[in-house]
Amino acid sequence: MKRISILGSTGSIGVNALEVISAHPEEFEVVALACREHAGLLAEQAKRFHPHYVGIVDESQVAHLKEKLDSRVEILVGQKEIELLGGLRESDLVLIAIGGAEALPPTLEAIRKGKRVAIANKESLVMAGDLLIQEAKKSGAFLLPVDSEHNAIFQCLEGKDRTLLQRIYLTGSGGPLRKRSKESFGSLTQEEVLEHPKWKMGRKITVDSATLMNKGLEVIEARHLFHLAVDQIEVLIHPEAVIHSMVEFVDGSVLAQLAVTDMKLPIQYALSYPDRLPGSVPSLNFKEVGALHFENPDVDKFPCLRIAYEVAHEGGSTPCALNAANEEAVRAYLSGGLPFVKIPALIEKVLSKHKNMNAPTLEEILADDQWAREEAHRLLKTI
Q: Looking at domain 2-145, which CATH architecture does it have? A: 3-Layer(aba) Sandwich (3.40)
Q: Percent of the chain scored above 90 by pLDDT?
A: 91
**151-260+297-380 is classed CATH 1.10.1740.10:** yes
From residue 362, give the alpha-carbon distance in Å to each of 126, 165, 200, 347, 359.
13, 31, 33, 22, 10
Contacts of 255 (CB under 8 A, 6+ apart): 156, 246, 247, 249
Residues contacting residue 66 through CB under 8 Å, at least 6 positions apart: 75
What are the pLDDT digits (tens) for 132-154? 999 999 999 999 999 999 999 99
* Per-residue pLDDT reduced to its tens digit, 262-294: 999 999 999 999 999 998 789 999 999 989 999
Q: Round to the nearest angstrom and report the end-to-end CA distance of the chain.
A: 53
How far apart, in Å, are the Cα atoms of 341 and each of 188, 233, 346, 350? 9, 26, 10, 16
Q: Where are the domains of the chain?
A: 2-145, 151-260+297-380
pTM of the prediction? 0.94
User: What pLDDT score was predicted for residue 36?
Assistant: 93
Beta bridge partners of 93: 4, 116
pLDDT at 68: 87
Q: Would the CATH topology of 2-145 be identical to that of 151-260+297-380? A: no
Mean pLDDT estimate for the chain: 95
